[in-house]
Structure 1
Amino acid sequence: MQYVLYNELSNNGKGKEILEVVKGKVNGEYEIVNVVGLDPKEFVQKLTADDLIILCGGDGTLNKFANYTADLEIPCDVLLFPAGTGNDFYRDIKENYDDSEMPSIKKYLTNLPVVTINGNNYRFLNGIGFGVDGVCCEMADDMKAAGKKDINYTSLSIKIVLFKFKCPHAWITVDGETVEYKRAWIASAMNGRYYGGGMKAAPDQDRLGDKLTCMVFKDKGRIGTLMGFPAIFKGEHVNNKKLVAVREGKEITVKFDRPTALQIDGETVRGVTEYTARK
């Protein structure tokens, strides 16, 4: 049996509309399953090698599916129909596939890195954003809760850098080597190349490799940071050594001197002072 898993809340509540598009791409018999309220572990345990999962959703849906099924052996293939707002996971892998096909993603759901925050462990697919990007997700969540739609994350980030963000002092340790930064605007641990709806934060990162990339926007003032920020959308920010520091490693620990919002594949965790990511 083919199972089409969809999230009715994805893409700002347009999940049901996108589902109709997916139906036109599925040949043969299939069953539709809404992931809202679904127990993924119970669902996966009932599958056989003859089944097929078509996962319809964005980075948030993917992250939840990966976390719930991380300790299970999925017996069948898993295909992806990207239906989120950012779709950074799909953006990272799509060059390996034809645009008309739904890519097989099963190999990307195993051996995922783990981030530890306040004693809790979470697996992630794309990256951890700590600083301006975390605050951006926090503010966007508040705006959504207030009923606002069509939020422009780029303009929101600019406003945060210019007016709202009090830049923290940071200590960042990669595989045992600690570097101190007087200002850390962004301190990310990347498993893929993209996050934040198209920001190419770690252009050389290989999600199937055995290391993470730590990317830091550092030390500059508000105007200097804002001027250098747009280069991140093409991955060219890493060439600005005065503004951006990049290190690779198997374990990354970031400590801020004040609580700041953090995002995991676009999902917000508020009031964080430290995280450790391992691969």
Structure 2
Amino acid sequence: MPDGAFANSVGCGFDAHIARMANRSAWKGRFNRVGLGSLIYVLYLVIELFRYRPVDLDICIDGRNYSFQQVWMATVSNHPYYGGGMRIAPSARGDDGLLHVTVVGPMQRCIFVLVFVCSFC
């Protein structure tokens, strides 16, 4: 495996949208001051769940093109967990030299919430 660095995971879609909204929120600082900083993410998850529209996604992996419709989120990971403990790539290992691609979608909003919540279990 070549030497180098890689972020734990890189994502796009709903998870990145929630992170952006929460981090730009004026409420985040207020929540942090009272020790409830993580709740801002839950707040935006609930709000944005009804606004967010899944998108179509085209990606190239090892020279092969893949197309997905109605994607909620996609990540590239070298570790099983991200987002405060969400298990996004259960078989990923930081020392095997592999990157794991996870694409989530299409599914109904209520199922997506269950998948999202259960991934913390």
User: Structure 2: how far apart are the matches of 1:129 and 1:223?
Assistant: 21
Q: Which runs of 5+ in 1 are unaligned?
A: 1-109, 114-123, 235-279
Task: Determine if the alignment matches structure 1 residue 213 to structure 2 residue 95.
Answer: no
User: What is residue 136 of structure 1 aligned with on the other side?
Assistant: 18
* Contact 2:73-2:104 within 8 A present in 1 as well: yes
Equivalent residue letter for 2:51: K
- Per-residue deviation, residues 100-145 of structure 1 (Å, max 9, x unmatched): xxxxxxxxxx5223xxxxxxxxxx2x10121111111111112147
CA 1:147–1:179 in 2, change beyond 3 Å: closer, same or farther? Answer: same
Aligned residue number for residue 115 of structure 2:
228
Q: Which has the higher contact order (CA 8 A, sep 6+)?
A: 2
1:167 correspondence with 2:54: yes
Equivalent pairs: percent with the same residue? 25
User: Aligned residue for 1:112?
Assistant: 5
Matching residue of 1:127: 9
| TM value normalised by structure 2 | 0.80
Q: How many residues align?
A: 113
CA RMSD of aligned residues (A): 2.0
2:10 counterpart letter in structure 1: I
- Note the alpha carbon deviations across 1:203-222, whole angstroms, 9 max, x for none: 11011111101111111122
Q: State the SS of the aligned residue for 2:24.
A: helix
Q: Describe how 1:1-279 pairs up with structure 2 within 5 A.
A: 110-113=3-6, 124=7, 126-144=8-26, 147-149=29-31, 150-151=36-37, 152=39, 153-161=41-49, 163-234=50-121
- TM-superposed deviation, 1:146: 6.9
- Maintained 8 Å contact 2:81/2:87: yes
Structure richer in strand, relative to its length: 1
2:97 partner amino acid: D
Distance 2:69 2:26 in 1: 33
Deviations 1:222-274 (A, max 9, x none): 2221232222113xxxxxxxxxxxxxxxxxxxxxxxxxxxxxxxxxxxxxxxx
TM-score by length of 1: 0.37
Instruction: State the distance in 1 between where 2:95 and 2:28 align.
Output: 39
| CA distance in structure 2 between the partners assigned to 1:209 and 1:178 by the alignment | 24
The CA deviation string for residues 79-116 of structure 1, in whole angstroms up to 9 with x for no partner, is xxxxxxxxxxxxxxxxxxxxxxxxxxxxxxx5223xxx
CA distance in 2, matches of 1:160, 1:203: 26
Larger Rg: 1
Question: What is the alpha-carbon distance in structure 2 between the residues aligned to residue 225 and residue 178 of structure 1?
Answer: 25
Structure 2: state its 5+ residue gaps.
none
The residue type paired with residue 232 of structure 1 is S
